[in-house]
């Protein structure tokens, strides 16, 4: 269980299960109020609990701890209603190319942020595909691969690559923490007046 406004998880729940390959399996059941103490941990001013927290599930093999599936994110409420501070997301560096099974011109794009970022989106004026896009970023740094369809260079990618996240679509303004009245960031979502107090 994570809160939108802090990077460290606030609660966790672990269970062991046996799954049969190539069959549909109920992986786990979870009671957010009891197992993750959501009612207590997700209280923030006038916000509903589902607008303060979200859930990340990790499915790993018991034997070696390696991922059995990609991480899954469950947003409990609508992002437009959420208590989500502005995130500054940027491309820190690009390296490569390397030859991989997917492309002879594979580049590593290092993306960084200063807060949890929803729907991080990368674009570039080159033919190719990113290994992930539109993702939720809980960590401060992530490496994304760009598989170019034709020969290109780091300079060509750096000159055209852009990165955005959900809070980049918000209007300019001042957001104030409802309890402490401390200024949180410089953006707010215009569709939900509960998100702002003007100073």
Question: Each residue of 41-68: pLDDT tens digit?
Answer: 888 877 888 889 999 988 888 888 888 8
Question: How do residues 108-133 score in pLDDT, each as one tens digit?
Answer: 999 999 999 999 999 999 999 999 99
* Cross-sheet strand order for the sheet of 117-123: 135-137, 117-123, 162-164
More confident residue, 175 or 81: 81
All residues at 6 or more sequence positions from 138 whose CB lies less than 8 Å from its CB, including other chains: 2, 7, 56, 116
C-alpha 186/C-alpha 84 separation (Å) is 12
Pick the CATH number of 89-168 from 2.60.120.580, 2.60.40.10, 3.10.129.10, 3.40.50.300: 2.60.40.10
pLDDT at 176: 47
Q: In angstroms, rounded to a whole number, what is the distance separating the alpha carbons of residues 65 and 123?
A: 33
Which tens digits make up the pLDDT trace of 29-45? Answer: 778 778 888 888 888 87
What does the alpha-carbon distance between residue 152 and residue 105 come to, in Å, rounded to a whole number? Answer: 7
pLDDT on residue 171: 65
Specify the domain boundaries for CATH 2.60.40.10 within the chain: 89-168
CB atoms within 10 A of CB 102: 13
């Amino acid at each position: 269980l994570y809160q939108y406004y802090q990077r460290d998880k606030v609660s966790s729940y672990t269970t062991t299960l046996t799954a049969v390959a190539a069959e549909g399996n109920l992986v786990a059941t979870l009671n957010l109020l009891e197992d993750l103490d959501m009612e207590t941990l997700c209280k923030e001013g006038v916000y509903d609990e589902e607008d303060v927290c979200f859930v990340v599930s990790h499915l790993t093999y018991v034997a070696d701890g390696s991922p059995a599936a990609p991480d899954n994110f469950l947003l409990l409420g609508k992002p437009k209603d959420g208590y989500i501070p502005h995130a500054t997301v940027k491309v820190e560096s690009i390296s490569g190319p390397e030859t991989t099974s997917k492309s002879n011109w594979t580049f590593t794009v290092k993306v960084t942020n200063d807060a949890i970022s929803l729907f991080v989106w990368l674009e570039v004026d080159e033919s190719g595909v990113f290994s992930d896009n539109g993702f939720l970023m809980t960590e401060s740094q992530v490496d994304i691969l760009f598989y170019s369809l034709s020969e290109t260079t780091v300079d060509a990618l750096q000159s055209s690559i852009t990165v955005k996240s959900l809070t980049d679509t918000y209007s300019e303004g001042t957001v104030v923490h409802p309890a402490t009245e401390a200024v949180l960031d410089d953006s707010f979502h215009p569709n939900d007046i509960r998100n702002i107090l003007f100073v």
